[in-house]
Structure 1
């Protein structure tokens, strides 16, 4: 069998617990099994993979250097006093250069990683070590580097778009208007270049593909990149391959994992909890909301104080690697997911939710625990949740959220929470789809 050598450009490769990392790192064993030799280029933010060729490069811009340096120091020395001292010193020294970079360009911080990725990639290609370029992100610098390599060398290029590059503002907005923000303008330009030059490009939702095709008719033209939807899926976290029997405790544990923000806030659930307590006063002592992975957002903090529910929510922060047990942050998260009575999935309230499915959803499916999802304008996500017997309500409907919480409360009181249908979505499905598409590209060549 002829060796297939893929250059994989992924800024955040092998970063523990990061969605942009897991989406590609989980695919690597399947690619290797299929006879592909991966050569991965990434920033220094993750742990260097010892099983494949994995080269890490510092970004050249000051903002990206600061970002990468912080993660590198954390990986090497933890987040104690040395981390605080060195990162604050570097941030202080780089501050004027970062301000100048922002003033002159206005791009997101990781853009400059494209430069070392391009130069080292070009050298590898000229040395005959690469047959195909694969960019994935996450940070759009990987796609920019791949675009430059494609134009320079003409090698086949496939691109995996995690989040939409063009962020629409309303259902009526198709994404044609030129944004005022310079980073947004460049992302709009980059999307057009992707659709013109990539041999294959895919997104993670039906909505993202739909709007990309509206903006880029080339996606429907033979000979150009066919815009596809490929669900990323997730590997069984912690080796989970079957549902575990759940043990009820004296508290109803509602657990959220991942980032929080004003547009993705636990405040909606806190407000629903206040209404539930007014109807069932005992619920105040029996319901506990747990937040893992990020600090509480401002709206949630304000709601807890205003509604006198600060004892009802426990913020655990980010679960890092445990030095005593040796468990990674990801393994610790899986344990907490399995202990949950209900897994909370917050979709957000922005228009881009129509093109986005939280990556945490695919991990949740492997746990076999009931999911309570508050969604916004995404029929594809709604249907996948309904197919699995999830609790579902609408982001912009406070009554819907309150009713869902009451249903969960009543089901828990009867020890009869919904038993979700076991239908996880694995990474192997995504890899098979990618390989089929690449084989078609090779046949055309």
Structure 2
């Protein structure tokens, strides 16, 4: 027996997610993609409801082949208000409430209802971001009465997002209705659960569930099998990699740049010793002038985005990996951290010691953390980290600890939660 369902029973679940191939994003797509891949192993057949590719800011075919065979994907009509409904770069606020993809809502509801009725769907699951995904699920739950599991990869409302005004009020309203209507709310970090417990103190304790982000072992194994030994690695400068978005307010690299500049002036860092690659920051226009002004463009390079598999290969070949996370995101853990764990490369984390990111690193045996905004601490910590790399003593995550964060294992937890929700609804 699997939970309270017969082990041979297959139940249908509607997965509502804006981010699904061919969208090109740094990490958000991987969670739903993995769930859709592994849920059938746990007696749940997924039916995916997502947006038409025209709505995505950018697309890539590099993960289309990762959509599991047998998973039906419904791509409902959707537009991006900023690109499709604007005039001279401006558009009405009502066309972006709760977000720029509100046009997905109506078609998503219609497509979702059709999928539910034609395939005897037993349960609805939706994931935020994007807010409209939860709005679609909220309507479907009210119309069908089906149990709903709401997934929060991030908090819908926090201290600085959305900015005060109608959009923030709209987010807060949808968040409240979501928490009230869903049978279970899933979060990716302990701090996020604590935040929502405090925000909604009257909710039952069994409302809240933790399923962290993770890594896709099959894709890592495929990348490793295709990797070729890097020529001349022993004679080159150490290479540190950060792969993904560097938000100015949540992952500001300015103190890091300043620390590197001072270490370079002091003769402690040089291009012969270290090379730092910041891949796909999405804010190069902000950071390149600063790098140039500090005269560290020989050490720090901003590089464009590459395919997911290429990014994993770059992680596996790096000498060290970088994480940036500000104290105002203490209840969040960057999804790439778990891919860093699986890459088993030393990690230098610029993050608050009291946050969930630092806690996850310590639990995995990594203690190379300094505050993102403390230039002096960065200088000391970075030199120590580089010295450990040069001596071959940089700490890496053990295979046992890395295995814990397999998305396949976490999908088993999700399937068990679905079973609990269905049993409670009977």
Partner residue of 2:343 out of 367, 383, 397: 367
Match status 1:55 vs 2:35: no
Distance of 2:126 and 2:107 partners within structure 1:
14
Match status 1:215 vs 2:202: no
In structure 1, stretches of 5+ residues that fail to align are 67-90, 170-174, 320-328
**Per-residue Cα deviation, 1:205-264 (whole angstroms, up to 9, x for no partner):** 11111111111124326xxx6112221212124327999999544201111100123222
Alignment of 1:108-119 (within 5 A): 108-119=99-110
Match status 1:435 vs 2:415: yes
TM-score by length of 2: 0.84
Distance of 1:209 and 1:305 partners within structure 2:
41
Match status 1:239 vs 2:247: no
1:134–1:159 contact (8 Å) kept in structure 2:
yes
Residue range with higher mean Cα deviation, 360-369 or 282-291 = 282-291
Matching residue of 1:12? 19
Distance of 2:299 and 2:163 partners within structure 1:
42
Distance of 1:282 and 1:156 partners within structure 2:
57
**SS of the residue aligned with 1:217?**
coil
Distance of 1:285 and 1:179 partners within structure 2:
44
Distance of 2:224 and 2:95 partners within structure 1:
53
2:98–2:132 contact (8 Å) kept in structure 1:
no
Matching residue of 1:340? 318
Distance of 1:95 and 1:299 partners within structure 2:
25
Distance of 1:397 and 1:282 partners within structure 2:
18
Distance of 1:105 and 1:405 partners within structure 2:
42
Matching residue of 1:200? 184
Matching residue of 2:3? none
Matching residue of 1:391? 368
Distance of 1:50 and 1:441 partners within structure 2:
25
Partner residue of 2:287 out of 288, 300, 306: 300
Q: Matched residue pairs, number?
A: 396
1:261–1:298 contact (8 Å) kept in structure 2:
no
Alignment of 1:74-113 (within 5 A): 94-96=85-87, 99-102=90-93, 106-113=97-104
Change (3 A) 1:261 1:430: same
1:265–1:299 contact (8 Å) kept in structure 2:
no
Match status 1:261 vs 2:239: no
RMSD of the TM alignment (CA)? 2.8
Matching residue of 2:383? 406
Distance of 2:44 and 2:202 partners within structure 1:
29
Alignment of 1:116-135 (within 5 A): 116-135=107-126
Change (3 A) 1:5 1:282: closer
2:26–2:245 contact (8 Å) kept in structure 1:
no
TM-score by length of 1: 0.81
